[in-house]
C-alpha cells in the first residue's frame, strides 16, 4: 500500500505539503505542487479514507436503511439516493431491516461506528427514539415524523385521487384496502381515499391487510373476492397487491375494466408490464431518493434555509385497469 509518506519521499517534500496539495488548502509553491502531483501519479497513490475519517471524525459514507430492497418500490429510492450522494463524492452503506427493531438498531450502531456523516432511513421505528442518541443528521424517506426532516409523497392526495377517479368512472361498490397500520404513508392514502369516498355517492367496504410482501399478495387477492364478491372497483394498498388482484380477477373470469376497475399505488416499473397495464397513483420514488439525499447533504453542510421536510406530489397514471373517459 502506498501512503502519503511514500509520496512525500518520492517528491522530496514533507507529508504536510503533500496533504496540502491533496486537499488544495494552505500555501504551496507551483513547482512543489507539480512535483507532488507527479509523484502521486507515478506511485498511483490515493489517500486512505480511513485515516482521514479517523482524524476528521467524519467519513464520506452515508448510511441507508431500507425495510427490504427486495420489495420493488425500494430499489428506485435507493438508486435516487445513490445517484445524488455519489455526485457529491459520498458512498453508501446499505442495510435492510425487515422492519425489525433489533436489526435497525444494529445497523444504526455500525453506521455510527463507521463515522457516517449522515443517514437516510425508510423504516418505521423512528418514533421509538432509536435515532435520538446518535448525534447524526437523519433524513426520513417515505416516512414522516415530527422530529426529523423527511421526504415523502402526498399520501392523502394519492388516496383521494384514486377514490375520486373511480367514482367518476362509475364505480358503485368500491373496496379500499388498508395497508399495514405501522406504515404511516399507507395510512395516509387510506385516509385520503376514505374521506373522498365519504363525500361521494359510492358505497365502499374496507379490507385490512398486514403486509406488503410479495408472498402475501396473492392471499389478499383471494380474500378480497371471497369476502366482497360485489366489488366493482378496488383501491389497492400498493401495486404488487393490485397486480395480484388483477390476475385473480381475470382468473375468476371478470372483465377488466368493465366488471372491475383497479388502481394501484407506487407506479413500480412492472405496472406497464402487467396485463392489462395497471392504472396507479405514481409516487416519484427515484426523485424522492434524490431529494432525501440532497436534503441530507444540505444538513451536513449546515446550509442556511433548509426545508424541514419535503412533500412531493403524486400523480394518477391512467392505464388499462380503469375505464376510459
Report the residue from 121, 238, 274, 299 that binds its own copies according to the rule CB under 8 A. 274
Q: Does 1 bind DNA (CB under 7 A)?
A: yes
Nearer to DNA, 135 or 258 (CB): 135
Give yes or no for residue 94 binding its own copies (CB under 8 A). yes
Name which of 51 and 101 has its Cβ closer to its own copies: 51
Q: Does 208 bind its own copies (CB under 8 A)?
A: no
Q: Which distant-in-sequence residues (6+ apart) come within 8 Å of 85 by Cβ? A: 62, 91, 92, 293, 296, 297
**CA dihedral for 193, 161, 268, 81, sign (positive or negative):** negative
Which part of the chain contacts DNA (CB under 7 A), choosing from 40-48, 77-85, 94-102, 125-133? 40-48
CB-based contact 21:28 (threshold 8 Å): yes
User: How many of the other CB atoms lie within 10 Å of CB of 38?
Assistant: 13
Q: Where are the alpha helices (DSSP H) in 46-151?
A: 49-56, 74-87, 101-113
Q: Quote the least distance from Cβ 123 to its own copies, whole Å.
A: 15
Q: Does 93 bind its own copies (CB under 8 A)?
A: yes
The answer to whether residue 55 forms part of the interface with DNA (CB under 7 A) is yes
57 binds its own copies (CB under 8 A): yes
Count how many Cα atoms sit within 13 Å of the Cα of residue 73 in the half-sphere of its side chain: 24
Site for DNA (CB under 7 A): which residue of 9, 10, 24, 31? 31
The window from 10-18, 253-261, 290-298, 301-309 that contacts DNA (CB under 7 A) reads: 10-18
15 lies in the binding site for DNA (CB under 7 A): yes
Residue 176 forms beta bridges with which residues? 206, 235
CA-to-CA distance for 109 and 134, rounded, in angstroms? 9
Determine, following the binding rule CB under 8 A, whether residue 78 of this chain makes contact with its own copies: yes
Residue 196 CB, nearest approach to its own copies (Å): 28
CA 281 vs CA 143, 235, 243, 270: distances in Å:
17, 10, 13, 14
Comparing CB distances to DNA, the nearer of 133 and 273 is 133
> Which residues are CB-neighbours of 281 under 8 A, at least 6 positions away?
158, 159, 161, 162, 189, 263, 264, 265, 266, 267, 314, 315, 316, 317
Nearest to 26, CA basis, from 42, 43, 45, 13: 13
User: Site mask, its own copies, residues 166-205, x = CB under 8 A?
Assistant: ----------------------------------------
Residue among 9, 10, 26, 289 that touches DNA (CB under 7 A): 26
Please give the angle made by the CA atoms of 168, 172 and 176, to the nearest 5 degrees: 90
By CB under 7 A, what part of segment 109-168 binds DNA?
A: none
Least Å distance between CB 306 and its own copies? Answer: 24
Q: How many residues bind its own copies (CB under 8 A)?
A: 56
Q: Which is nearer to DNA, 16 or 273 (CB)?
A: 16
- Residue closer to DNA, measured from CB, 20 or 290: 20
- φ, ψ of residue 272 to 5 degrees: the values are -85, 0
The answer to whether the beta carbons of residues 140 and 104 sit under 8 Å apart is no
302 part of the interface to DNA, by CB under 7 A: no
Which positions lie near its own copies, rule CB under 8 A?
Answer: 1, 44, 46-51, 53-54, 57, 59-61, 64, 68-70, 72, 74-76, 78-79, 82, 86, 91-96, 107, 109-110, 112-115, 133, 214, 217-218, 240, 243-244, 246-247, 250, 269-270, 272-275, 277
Amino acid at each position: 500500500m502506498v501512503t502519503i509518506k511514500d509520496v512525500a519521499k518520492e517528491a522530496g517534500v514533507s507529508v504536510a505539503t503533500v496533504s496540502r496539495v491533496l486537499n488544495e488548502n494552505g500555501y504551496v509553491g507551483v513547482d512543489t505542487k507539480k512535483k507532488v502531483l507527479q509523484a502521486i501519479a507515478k506511485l498511483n497513490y490515493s489517500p486512505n479514507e480511513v485515516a482521514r475519517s479517523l482524524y476528521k471524525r467524519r467519513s464520506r459514507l452515508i448510511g441507508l436503511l431500507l425495510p427490504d430492497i427486495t420489495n420493488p418500490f425500494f430499489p428506485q429510492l435507493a438508486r435516487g439516493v445513490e445517484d445524488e450522494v455519489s455526485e457529491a463524492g459520498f458512498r453508501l452503506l446499505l442495510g435492510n431491516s425487515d422492519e425489525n427493531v433489533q436489526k435497525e438498531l444494529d445497523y444504526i450502531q455500525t453506521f455510527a461506528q463507521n463515522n457516517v456523516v449522515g443517514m437516510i432511513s425508510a423504516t418505521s421505528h423512528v418514533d421509538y427514539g432509536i435515532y435520538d442518541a446518535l448525534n447524526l443528521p437523519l433524513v426520513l424517506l417515505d416516512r414522516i415524523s415530527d422530529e426529523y426532516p423527511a421526504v415523502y409523497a402526498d399520501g392523502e392526495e394519492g388516496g383521494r385521487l384514486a377514490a375520486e377517479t373511480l367514482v367518476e368512472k362509475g364505480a358503485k361498490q368500491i373496496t379500499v384496502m388498508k395497508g399495514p397500520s405501522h406504515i404511516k404513508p399507507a395510512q395516509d392514502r387510506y385516509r385520503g381515499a376514505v374521506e373522498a369516498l365519504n363525500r361521494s355517492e359510492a358505497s365502499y367496504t374496507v379490507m385490512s391487510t398486514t403486509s406488503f410482501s410479495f408472498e402475501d399478495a396473492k392471499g389478499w387477492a383471494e380474500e378480497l373476492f371471497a369476502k366482497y364478491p360485489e366489488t366493482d372497483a378496488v383501491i389497492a394498498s400498493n401495486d404488487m397487491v393490485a397486480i395480484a388482484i388483477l390476475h385473480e380477477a381475470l382468473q375468476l373470469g371478470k372483465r377488466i375494466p368493465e366488471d372491475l376497475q383497479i388502481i394501484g399505488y407506487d407506479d413500480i416499473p412492472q405496472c406497464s408490464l402487467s396485463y392489462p397495464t395497471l392504472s396507479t397513483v405514481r409516487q416519484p420514488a427515484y426523485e424522492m431518493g434524490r431529494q432525501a439525499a440532497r436534503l441530507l447533504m444540505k444538513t451536513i453542510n449546515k446550509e442556511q434555509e433548509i426545508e424541514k421536510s419535503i412533500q412531493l406530489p403524486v400523480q394518477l397514471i391512467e392505464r388499462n385497469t380503469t375505464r376510459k373517459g
